[in-house]
A and B are shown apart, each in its own frame.
Chain A
Amino acid sequence: MIIDGEFRVNAPIERTWDFLTNIQEIASCVPSFEKVEVQDDKNFAITVSQKVGPFSATFETQTSFTEIIPPSRLVAFGKGKDTLMGSSFELTNEMDLVAISGKETLVKYKADVKISGRIASVGQSLIKIVAKREVANVVKLIQDKIGG
């Protein structure tokens, strides 16, 4: 499932880059990141947890920045499993930053989310709706945080 789009932030490109590459900053904008453990500046152990009504899944992921071209391109890849739900999760997120002006930056993103196993076979439509909504939510939080 591909979720893509773009958004503007009220900050110069360097500041935006610093924000987006700081995992703790990002984590504060992603409600489903339950726990982040920094292994080094590129590798993280992130616990991703999502709940919809009585359904919940918690993926212990290993996440890395796989491509870093400051201040314009960042690719992250994460992968994890939820044993209880017999399901796994994979995410590739590409971000491209373009300076619109000295004060404004355009962020283009393309997230490829793959969820497989038991949850996928019963809730594919729901997963899609929820994932899109979550992304919109994250974007808003990022905008607020950097801008504010």
Chain B
Amino acid sequence: MRRFELLEPNSVEEACRLLSKHGQGARVLAGGTALVKLMKKRLIHPSYLVNIKGIKELHFIREDKDALKIGALTPLREIETSPFVRDRFRVVTEMVHTIGSVQIRNVGTLTGNLCFADPASDPAPLLIALEAQLKIVGPGGARVLSLENFFTDFYETTLSADEIVEEIQIPFLPKGSGVTYLKHTMRVAFDLAIVGVAVRLDLNLKDGVCKDSRIVLGGVASTPVHTKKAEGILKGKVIDDSRIAEAARAASLEVDPIHDVRASSEYRREMTEVFVERGLKQALERAKGG
């Protein structure tokens, strides 16, 4: 690892100021599990690390009127073991459990995961399906951005060099909503998704009609893919197996999957279909169950 200067701001404002001062040469250090690894492999060489761990107020999980809010410094493991998160968002607990290993989750943060923008990120597709938003702070003040509009390319986001994500906001789900995240890997644990599928179905519990749905894919392209055509097949319809199969097929045709060392493009497409189908079935059950 090359030497760098460590900066330790005590407030978000100070952090932004430092980032703005040092521009591209600076990077934010939160959990650091991804960043330190890349620095050790000498793939990135920041001159300044802005360690935000001193900003204690960024470490929280709290309930607001209509959303769950998670601070930028909250480690993944804390989210995974939070009874509150489990009560309101069992699917988030389940998803976080599949990331890395306990040791990584004890240190790594949810925000860090999103900002790194690894195409195989697990949180990204699920949180998009949950319509999560980011509160982003920069020198010019704060803005709130839908996570869906956050990712722009492999490892790239709309975050500018002098901005910091302060918190993630996940709106509470309406009644009749079922959400699931399925991840296809080669190993049972500690593996990256060949395809990660987040599925959400909002049902009208009276007649079983699908009011809204979201299908978001991870691991298949440079950024999470929101398959709107597939969703269109479900919206306003009563969901049954054949409708699910049709939507799954549509979703798999909506992506142009990447080919890499983990899987071919063709296999990714096939797995998209399989896991969207499975996800929809599971989400349907969850939705019906309340």
User: Which of B27, B42, B261 interacts with A85 by CB under 8 Å?
Assistant: B42
Task: Please indicate the chain B residues that have their CB under 8 angstroms from the CB of A69 in the complex.
Answer: none
A41-68 interface mask toward B, CB cutoff 8 Å, 1 = contact, 0 = none?
A: 0000000000011110000000000000
Task: Please indicate the chain B residues that have their CB under 8 angstroms from the CB of A125 in the complex.
Answer: 258-261
Structural contact, B259 and A54, CB atoms closer than 8 A: no
B8-51 interface mask toward A, CB cutoff 8 Å, 1 = contact, 0 = none?
A: 00000000000000000001000000000010011111000000
- Which residues of A95-128 are within 8 A (CB) of B? 118-119, 122, 124-126
Residues A54 and B38 in contact in the complex (CB < 8 Å), given A84-B45, A130-B154: yes
Is B57 located at the chain interface by the 8 A CB criterion?
Answer: no
Structural contact, A126 and B38, CB atoms closer than 8 A: no
Structural contact, A53 and B153, CB atoms closer than 8 A: yes
Residues A119 and B154 in contact in the complex (CB < 8 Å), given A54-B27, A54-B38: no
Task: Please indicate the chain B residues that have their CB under 8 angstroms from the CB of A124 in the complex.
Answer: 261
Which of B43, B153, B155, B156 has most A Cβ within 10 Å? B43
Is A86 located at the chain interface by the 8 A CB criterion?
Answer: yes
Q: A130's closest neighbor in chain B, by CB?
A: B154
B153 CB, min distance to chain A CBs, angstroms: 7
Structural contact, B43 and A118, CB atoms closer than 8 A: yes
Structural contact, A55 and B258, CB atoms closer than 8 A: no
User: How many A residues touch B, CB cutoff 8 Å?
Assistant: 15
Considering the chains assembled together, what is the distance between the CA atoms of A54 and B41 in angstroms?
Answer: 13
B105-123 interface mask toward A, CB cutoff 8 Å, 1 = contact, 0 = none?
A: 0000000000001000000
Considering the chains assembled together, what is the distance between the CA atoms of A86 and B156 in angstroms?
Answer: 23
- Which residues of B230-284 are within 8 A (CB) of A? 258-261
Considering the chains assembled together, what is the distance between the CA atoms of A60 and B27 in angstroms?
Answer: 25
User: Which of A53, A85, A129 interacts with B156 by CB under 8 Å?
Assistant: A53
- Which residues of B167-201 are within 8 A (CB) of A? none
Is B204 located at the chain interface by the 8 A CB criterion?
Answer: no
Structural contact, A55 and B153, CB atoms closer than 8 A: no
User: How many B residues touch A, CB cutoff 8 Å?
Assistant: 17
Structural contact, A118 and B153, CB atoms closer than 8 A: no
Considering the chains assembled together, what is the distance between the CA atoms of A130 and B45 in angstroms?
Answer: 21
Q: B35's closest neighbor in chain A, by CB?
A: A54
Residues A54 and B42 in contact in the complex (CB < 8 Å), given A126-B154, A129-B258: no
Structural contact, A55 and B260, CB atoms closer than 8 A: no
B191 CB, min distance to chain A CBs, angstroms: 17
A70-84 interface mask toward B, CB cutoff 8 Å, 1 = contact, 0 = none?
A: 000000000000001
Considering the chains assembled together, what is the distance between the CA atoms of A103 and B44 in angstroms?
Answer: 47
Considering the chains assembled together, what is the distance between the CA atoms of A43 and B176 in angstroms?
Answer: 68
Structural contact, A52 and B153, CB atoms closer than 8 A: yes
Structural contact, A53 and B27, CB atoms closer than 8 A: no
Structural contact, A55 and B155, CB atoms closer than 8 A: yes
Considering the chains assembled together, what is the distance between the CA atoms of A86 and B44 in angstroms?
Answer: 12
Structural contact, A86 and B153, CB atoms closer than 8 A: no
With A55-B155, A85-B42 known, 9 other A-B pairs at CB within 8 A are: A53-B154, A55-B38, A86-B42, A118-B43, A119-B43, A122-B41, A125-B259, A129-B154, A129-B258
Chain B interface (Cβ < 8 Å from any Cβ of A): 27, 38, 41-45, 117, 153-156, 222, 258-261
A-B contact pairs, 28 of them (CB 8 A): A52-B154, A52-B155, A52-B156, A53-B117, A53-B153, A53-B154, A53-B156, A54-B44, A55-B38, A55-B43, A55-B155, A85-B42, A85-B43, A86-B42, A118-B41, A118-B42, A118-B43, A119-B43, A122-B41, A122-B43, A124-B261, A125-B258, A125-B261, A126-B154, A126-B260, A129-B222, A129-B258, A130-B154
Chain A interface (Cβ < 8 Å from any Cβ of B): 52-55, 84-86, 118-119, 122, 124-126, 129-130
